[in-house]
Amino acid sequence: MMQLGIVTYNIAKDWDLPTILKRLEMLGYQGVELRTTHAHKVEVNLTKDERQEIRKRFDDSPIELAGLGSAFEYQSTDPAVVRKNIEGTKEYVRLAHDIGSPGVKVRPNGIPKGADLDATLRRIGEALHEVGEDATGFGVEIRVEVHGGITQEVPNFAKIMTYADHPNVYTCWNSNPTDVKNGSVRENFALVGPKIREVHLRDLTDETYPWRELFSLLNDVGYQGYTLAEIPESSDPERVLRYFRALWLAYQPKPKDA
């Protein structure tokens, strides 16, 4: 069965880690993706002892660490910039290993102005292959967010995954408007469905996105990972997250024998 969690971007960007764990448990959530730069301060500058303390906090809590959310990207035409992002990803993978995170989220972020589309998709894919291979040795998955102008168009994203060509490089479905074709996400979902390891959800009150179909498709491929609320901050976040959970439960596929 799918699991429910949040991305700290942006609903919980100002919560420290004890607050995240306390509130999510109270609200009936199961996990969290810790997005970099937020108030939780789970970053690569943590010492060995601090990393052990973070791991213990999660071990002692019913809330699971669903993943780490980075902003590393590899589309630049400057090889030095790509290399910096690759090495940064590797540092983040080691942080994930130390604190018990099963995966690290990375992303493409569009096509540089004037750059060749296919060459850029290949460059991103080759970088993902390298970080996916590196992360394998640490038991950490690389999860690639369907993100960025042009690169979030699923046929282009699927090419990136083909160029990555690594069993440890997975998809983070991002619930973008560009997923929808003639009111359905079925066609685009089919391009990456078997590789989905994480799902970001937007506001479930958005009737332009076929949420019920998405959950049905995830169920059909046997998805049992996290579906994570990635929603705007609120002056009353606990109330918003209660409503989000209620809608999430309502959208879950009914058992076939029901």
**Structure confidence by residue, pLDDT tens digits, 118-142:** 999 999 999 999 999 999 999 999 9
Amino acid at 219: N
Q: pLDDT tens-digit profile of 52-95? A: 999 999 999 999 999 999 999 999 999 999 999 999 999 999 99
The helix/strand/coil state of 177 is helix
User: Which CATH number describes the domain made up of 3-251?
Assistant: 3.20.20.150
What tens digit of pLDDT does each residue of 168-194 get? Answer: 999 999 999 999 999 999 999 999 999
Which residues have CB under 8 Å from 228's CB, separation 6+?
Answer: 4, 5, 6, 7, 31, 32, 33, 66, 198, 199, 200, 201
Buried b (16+ CB within 10 A) or exposed e, 155-181: ebbbbbbebbebebbbbbbbbbebbbe
Question: Is 239 exposed, middle or buried (CB count within 10 Å of its CB: 0-12, 13-18, 19+)?
Answer: exposed
Q: Report the run of H or E that residue 188 belongs to, with start and end.
A: helix 186-192
Amino acid at 242: R
Identify the pLDDT of residue 28.
98
Q: How far apart are CA 213 and CA 203, in angstroms?
A: 15
Listed in sequence order, the residues at least 6 apart from 97 whose beta carbon sits closer than 8 Å to its beta carbon are 138, 139, 140
The model's pLDDT over 91-123, given as tens digits with 9 standing for 90+, comes to 999 999 999 999 999 999 999 999 999 999 999
Count Cα atoms within 13 angstroms, Cβ side, for 88: 17
Radius of gyration (Cα) for the chain, nearest Å? 18
Nearest residue to 119 (alpha-carbon basis) of 88, 79, 147? 79
Q: How many Cβ atoms from other residues are within 10 Å of residue 22's Cβ?
A: 14
- Please say whether the beta carbons of 244 and 21 come within 8 A: no
Q: Kindly report the pTM of this predicted structure.
A: 0.96
**115's tokens:** 């750059």
- Structural domain spans, the chain: 3-251
